[in-house]
């Protein structure tokens, strides 16, 4: 199987794929970072260099300065991967994100929108490099606030025909040696509370339903829901109370801004 990894930090995730059980099944692996080599080593130190050396000595390829939003810049049109991973994406602080923010990120809401745009742009670009029909794009994301407000499960809709195939609890033990790194420095963060979102190109409508019905941890058992907050209620009265809460209203405003942004950028 052929694998592409984008947005790596200290390359421990890519290295873990080389040295853990999936290894014998890998026929090609390209590990990439957004940082150029100099800033990567400055940020993540000698540990990153050691991981890179191990990947290269296993016979795989390492590239730097690769923007996950524009994969067509680095790969020919006929390149295909069985798996494309973006682990714990987060907008680079140096990025000036789109004109909707007037060249800068203003507040928490803008940061959420900027991160959604990063992932949506990545999905839109990566979908053209998947081996069909089985290829998968996998995005790991923390399952705590504010990351839950990114609503990663909904972003495949902006990259049709991509659809959400599954959402699983991320298990670090599946990737021995993976040490998630922050976007700014050689500092780790816990991945115990992360989810892995898998997207693929599928024809059956059942998967669209899965996407629509993804309400966080819970299966959709009840019909009374707030689709913005991904909550279920046992009565209309409970839902009405929820719709008046400050938290719901903050989220509703965010979704309005997001819908406007999507319209400006993608339509």
Segment contacting ligand SAM (CB under 6 A): 63-71, 128-136, 241-249, 256-264?
63-71
Rank residues 36 and 235 by Cβ distance to ligand SAM and give the closer one: 36
The minimum distance between CB 10 and ligand SAM, in angstroms, equals 7
Q: Applying CB under 6 A, which part among 6-14, 193-201, 215-223, 231-239 lies near ligand SAM? A: 6-14
**CB-side neighbour CA atoms (13 Å) of 224:** 11
Does the protein bind ligand SAM through residue 13 (CB under 6 A)? Answer: yes
Helices 246-266 and 108-126: crossing angle, nearest 10°? 40
Nearest CA-CA partner of 152 in 181, 178, 117? 117
How far apart are alpha carbons 137 and 83 in whole angstroms? 6
Q: What are the φ/ψ torsions at residue 249 (nearest 5 degrees)?
A: -65, -35
Q: Are strands 194-201 and 162-169 parallel, antiparallel or unpaired?
A: antiparallel
> What does each C-alpha distance from 217 to 89, 163, 207, 214, 227 come to in angstroms?
21, 19, 17, 8, 14
Judged by CB under 6 A, does residue 44 bind ligand SAM? no
When asked if residue 175 is in the footprint of ligand SAM (CB under 6 A), the reply is no
Answer for which of 3, 7, 17, 71 binds ligand SAM (CB under 6 A) is 7
Mask of contacts with ligand SAM, 78-117, x by CB under 6 A?
---------xxxxxx-------------------------
Cβ partners under 8 Å of residue 148, min gap 6: 216
Write the interaction track for ligand SAM spanning residues 177-196; mark x where CB under 6 A is met and - where it is not: ---xxxx-------------
* Position 139 contacts ligand SAM (CB under 6 A): no
The reply on whether position 8 binds ligand SAM by CB under 6 A is: yes
Residue selected from 15, 51, 69, 141 as contacting ligand SAM according to rule CB under 6 A: 69
Q: Does 200 bind ligand SAM (CB under 6 A)?
A: no
Region for residue 128 given its phi and psi (left: phi exceeds 0; alpha: psi -120 to 50; beta: otherwise): alpha
Residue 201 beta carbon to ligand SAM: minimum distance, rounded to whole angstroms = 22
Alpha-carbon torsion angle 250, 253, 255, 256, nearest 10: 180
Residues that bind ligand SAM (CB under 6 A): 6-9, 13, 34-35, 67-69, 87-92, 118, 180-183
């Amino acid at each position: 199987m052929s694998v592409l990894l984008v947005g790596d930090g200290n390359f421990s995730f890519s290295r873990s794929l080389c040295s853990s059980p999936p290894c014998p099944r890998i026929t090609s692996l390209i590990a990439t970072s957004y940082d150029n080599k100099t800033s990567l080593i400055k940020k993540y130190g000698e540990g990153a260099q050691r991981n890179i050396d191990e990947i290269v000595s296993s016979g795989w390829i390492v590239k730097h300065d690769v923007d996950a939003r524009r994969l067509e810049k680095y790969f020919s049109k006929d390149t295909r991967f069985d798996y494309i991973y973006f682990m714990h994406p987060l907008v680079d602080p140096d990025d000036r994100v789109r004109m909707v923010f007037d060249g800068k990120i203003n507040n928490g809401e803008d940061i959420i929108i900027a991160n959604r745009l990063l992932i949506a742009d990545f999905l839109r670009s990566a979908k053209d490099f998947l081996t069909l029909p089985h290829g998968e794009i996998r995005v790991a994301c923390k399952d705590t606030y504010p990351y839950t407000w990114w609503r990663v499960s909904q972003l495949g809709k902006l990259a049709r025909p991509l659809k959400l195939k599954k959402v699983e609890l991320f298990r670090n033990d599946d990737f021995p040696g993976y040490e998630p790194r922050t976007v700014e420095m050689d500092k780790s963060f816990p991945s115990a509370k992360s989810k892995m979102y898998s997207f693929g190109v599928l024809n059956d409508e059942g998967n669209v339903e899965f996407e629509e019905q993804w309400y966080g941890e819970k299966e959709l058992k009840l019909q009374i829901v707030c689709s913005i907050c991904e909550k279920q209620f046992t009565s209309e009265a409970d839902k009405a109370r929820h719709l008046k809460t400050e938290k719901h209203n903050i989220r509703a405003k965010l979704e309005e801004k997001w819908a406007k942004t999507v319209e400006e950028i993608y339509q």
